């Protein structure tokens, strides 16, 4: 029996209006046998009722607390049969029982709009590149301008550019881990370090090898860590600019900006602790703003 091709996991928190648009655009584009998992982190804006009423095809996991981005996605991965990992949340919830796991899983933010052809283009690329473990589309802002959605793996240079005011003029440049706008505009797929987590498509085989997202990250840097683990296991990572997704950005984290800033720097330090040398870790800790180190 063949496996369904696509599973989609969306983790939401109090973004009902944006989520409605995201689901509408996704369901217009996704293959008919796509399984969509919506993990709601105890929203108080009526999200669960809206999903049940307007999108009955979506499998809803309604959490009693805000489980965060990483834990929420891992719940979705388990519901899709892509990991056997258990947790307190998964044990306390009645997760949907899917008979067969999909070949690919798309982690999609609720503040996105899937533009026509994006899903089919990403899937076609993954079928044609069996060593690609992780890929992402071209992201655009609400006004249609380019949003950087693919990056080189971070090093100390990027920390310097972010934390030293004298170097801020170089932020957003290729020195800052970005790829040139012309690479997106050319429309041809290109290899990358990692995609932005807002819309990253993963291969089930790669997930089986490297495991789910690291629950030590609440949010931020989890996709960088996942991509690094895939790299070290021999999986490629690509950007596919012909697939386009509009990303409004920061809709959930912006509701708790100071806490989000603390989490960002804590996650960054965790990434360096996991993947870099003792000297690099020492230097990174001294570059992080003192208030967050």
Whether the Cβ atoms of residue 78 and residue 222 lie closer than 8 Å to each other: no
pLDDT value, residue 256: 53
CB atoms within 10 A of CB 248: 18
Q: What is the pTM of this model?
A: 0.89
Segments of 184-292 assigned E as strands: 190-191, 194-195, 199-203, 236-247
Q: Does the structure show a pLDDT above 80 at 38?
A: yes
pLDDT value, residue 87: 54
CB atoms within 10 A of CB 92: 10
> Residue 137, class by beta-carbon neighbours within 10 Å (0-12 exposed, 13-18 middle, 19+ buried)?
buried
pLDDT value, residue 93: 58
**CATH of region 6-158+170-256, choose from 1.10.10.10, 3.40.50.10310, 3.90.550.10, 3.40.50.720:** 3.90.550.10
pLDDT value, residue 18: 97
pLDDT value, residue 99: 57
- First-residue to last-residue Cα distance in the chain: 51
Q: Does the structure show a pLDDT above 90 at 115?
A: yes
If we measure between CA atoms, which residue out of 291, 290, 273 comes closest to residue 282?
273
Reported as a single tens digit per residue, the pLDDT across 132-189 is 999 999 999 999 999 999 999 987 777 777 777 777 777 777 777 899 999 999 999 9
Reported as a single tens digit per residue, the pLDDT across 257-267 is 778 888 888 88
- pLDDT range class, residue 250, cuts 50, 70, 90: low
């Amino acid at each position: 029996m063949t496996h369904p091709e696509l599973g989609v996991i969306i983790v939401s928190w109090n973004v009902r209006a944006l989520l409605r648009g995201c689901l509408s655009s996704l369901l217009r584009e996704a293959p008919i046998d796509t399984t969509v998992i919506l993990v709601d982190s105890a929203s108080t804006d009526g999200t669960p009722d809206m999903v049940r009423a307007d999108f009955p095809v979506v499998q809803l996991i309604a959490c009693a607390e805000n489980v965060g981005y990483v834990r929420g996605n891992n719940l979705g991965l388990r519901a899709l049969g892509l990991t056997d990992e258990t947790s307190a949340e998964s044990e306390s919830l009645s997760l949907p029982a899917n008979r067969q796991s999909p070949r690919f899983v798309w982690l999609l933010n609720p503040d996105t709009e899937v533009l026509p052809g994006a899903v089919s283009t990403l899937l076609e690329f993954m079928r044609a590149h069996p060593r690609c473990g992780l890929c992402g589309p071209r992201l655009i802002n609400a006004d249609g301008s380019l949003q950087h959605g693919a990056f080189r793996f971070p090093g100390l240079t990027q920390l310097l550019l972010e934390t030293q005011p004298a170097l801020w003029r170089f932020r957003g440049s290729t020195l800052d881990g970005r790829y040139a706008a012309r690479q997106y505009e050319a429309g041809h797929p290109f290899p990358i370090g990692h995609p932005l987590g807002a819309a990253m498509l993963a291969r089930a085989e790669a997930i089986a090898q490297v495991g789910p997202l690291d629950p030590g990250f609440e949010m931020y840097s989890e996709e960088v860590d996942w991509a690094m683990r895939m790299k070290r296991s021999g999986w490629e990572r690509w950007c596919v600019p012909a697939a386009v997704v509009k990303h409004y950005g920061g809709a959930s984290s912006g509701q708790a900006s100071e806490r989000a800033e603390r989490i960002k720097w804590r996650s960054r330090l965790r990434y360096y602790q996991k993947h870099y040398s003792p000297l690099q870790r020492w230097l990174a800790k001294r570059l992080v703003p003192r208030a967050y180190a």
